[in-house]
Amino acid sequence: MKHQSFCTILGLTTLTSIAALSFSLSPGFSQETSAPNQSDKVTFMCRSIFDKASGKQIPATIAWIPERRGHVRFIGWKSEYFEKSGWTTQKRCEEVTKKFQAAYEQGRLEYLTTGQNNGYPIICTVNIHGNCNGSNQLFTLKDGSNSELVLQQLINVATGTSSEPLLQSSGGKKYFHVQNFLNNAPLLNIQR
């Protein structure tokens, strides 16, 4: 099966907000000044982007792809669900972005899939036969979220509901291939 794309877990507040969001980077964010050493390696970063649906700036996890000389978006952090626990959208962006970077540098950012940890639905990184658990968890979803549906809608948003297959299934579990996303996702329109 051909793999493709992953992009934006928007606020995770509701599934409908996922489909409604569209982003652009805020003015002043440019490829030349975004982060050191971006010219030679994939680099994940938390940056402010403009959310057209709300008309506001929100934090987002994006990645610099040196082979493509551009950035792709992964997650726009909009949900305030975790703020009562001290996890603001900015803090979630920063912490999850660090997890993406660490997993990438350790060669563990192969596939994204879903699972549970401490009773909460989660998104994590695995190899094709791996299980999702607390040790490979990237982030937690809102209690009661259907993680499989969130992952599918996340991919639909990222790809603009492409007609090509997006996920590989193994034993009924969905896996999203990250490298194919990095190679094929639409590049962000960087405003200078």
3-state secondary structure of 149: helix
Domain ranges of the chain: 15-184
- Give me the pLDDT at residue 110, please: 92
**pLDDT band (50, 70, 90) for residue 154:** low
Which range scores top for mean pLDDT: 82-96, 116-130, 169-183? Answer: 82-96
Q: What is the pTM of this model?
A: 0.75
Is the pLDDT score of 134 beyond 70? yes
> Averaged over 159-175, what is the pLDDT?
55
**Mean pLDDT, range 141-167, rounded to an integer:** 67
**Sequence-ordered strand ranges (E) for the chain:** 23-25, 43-51, 56-65, 70-76, 111-117, 120-126, 137-140, 168-170, 173-177
pLDDT of residue 164 exceeding 50: no
Q: What is the mean pLDDT of residues 71-89?
A: 89
pLDDT winner (highest mean) among 49-53, 70-74, 98-102, 177-181: 98-102
What does the alpha-carbon distance between residue 94 and residue 60 come to, in Å, rounded to a whole number?
Answer: 9
Handedness of CA 154, 155, 160, 161 (dihedral sign): negative
Supply the pLDDT for residue 32: 35
Side chain identity at residue 166, one-letter code: L
